[in-house]
Amino acid sequence: MLGLRPTAAASAAPVDSPLTALAAVSAVEAELGHVLDSKMRGAFDVDEVFAQDVAGRVTSFVRRGGKRLRSAFAWCGWRAAGGSGDPTALLRTAAALELVQACALVHDDVMDGSPLRRGAPAVHVELARMHRSARMTGSPEAFSTSVAILAGDLALVWADDVLTETALGSPHGARLFHEWQAMRTEMVAGQYRDIHAQAAGSSGVDEAVSIATLKSALYTVERPLALGASLAGGDDHTLSALRSAGRCAGLAFQLRDDLLGTYGDPDMTGKPADDDLRSRKLTYLLAVGLWLADVADDEEAADALGPGAHLRSDDAVDRMRAALERTGARDVVESKISELAATSVRHFAGATSDPGVRREFTTLVERASGVVLGHTGEAA
Quote the CA–CA distance of 337 and 188 in Å, as a whole number: 25
Between 6 and 113, the more confident residue is 113
Whether 253 and 371 have beta carbons less than 8 Å apart is answered as no
Main-chain phi, psi angles of 122, to 5 degrees:
-60, 160
Mean pLDDT of all residues in 121-145: 94
Q: Which region, left, alpha or beta, applies to residue 233 given φ > 0 means left and ψ of -120 to 50 means alpha?
A: left
Which amino acid, residue 152? G
**Fold category of 21-369 in CATH:** Farnesyl Diphosphate Synthase (1.10.600)
263 pLDDT band, cuts 50/70/90, is: confident
Using the predicted structure, report yes or no on whether residue 92 has a pLDDT greater than 90. yes
The structural domains of the chain, with segments of one domain joined by +, span 21-369
Q: What counts of helices (H) and strands (E) characterise the chain? A: 18, 2
Quote the CA–CA distance of 265 and 330 in Å, as a whole number: 16
Mean pLDDT of the chain: 90
Using the predicted structure, report yes or no on whether residue 228 has a pLDDT greater than 60. yes
**pLDDT at 363 (0 to 100):** 95
Nearest partner of 273 among 283, 263, 286, 281, judged by Cα: 263
379 pLDDT band, cuts 50/70/90, is: low
Q: Is the dihedral of CA 180, 197, 118, 266 positive or negative?
A: negative
Adjacent-strand bridge partners of 116: 121
Specify which of 102-116, 210-224, 306-320 reaches the highest per-range mean pLDDT.
Answer: 210-224
Mean pLDDT of all residues in 321-347: 95
Look up the pTM and report it. Answer: 0.89
Per 3-state DSSP, the chain is made up of helix, strand and coil in percentages (nearest 5) of 75, 0, 25
Adjacent-strand bridge partners of 379: 373
Which amino acid, residue 27? A
Main-chain phi, psi angles of 270, to 5 degrees:
80, 10
Between 2 and 277, the more confident residue is 277
Quote the CA–CA distance of 340 and 332 in Å, as a whole number: 12
Q: Which residues contact 345 (CB under 8 A, 6 or more apart)?
A: 245, 358, 361, 362, 365, 373, 377
pLDDT tens figures, 97-131:
999 999 999 999 999 888 888 778 999 999 999 99
DSSP string, 101-149: HHHHHHHHHHHHT--EETTEE-HHHHHHHHHHHTT-SS-HHHHHHHHHH
Which amino acid, residue 299? E
**pLDDT at 276 (0 to 100):** 83
Q: Which residues contact 136 (CB under 8 A, 6 or more apart)?
A: 143
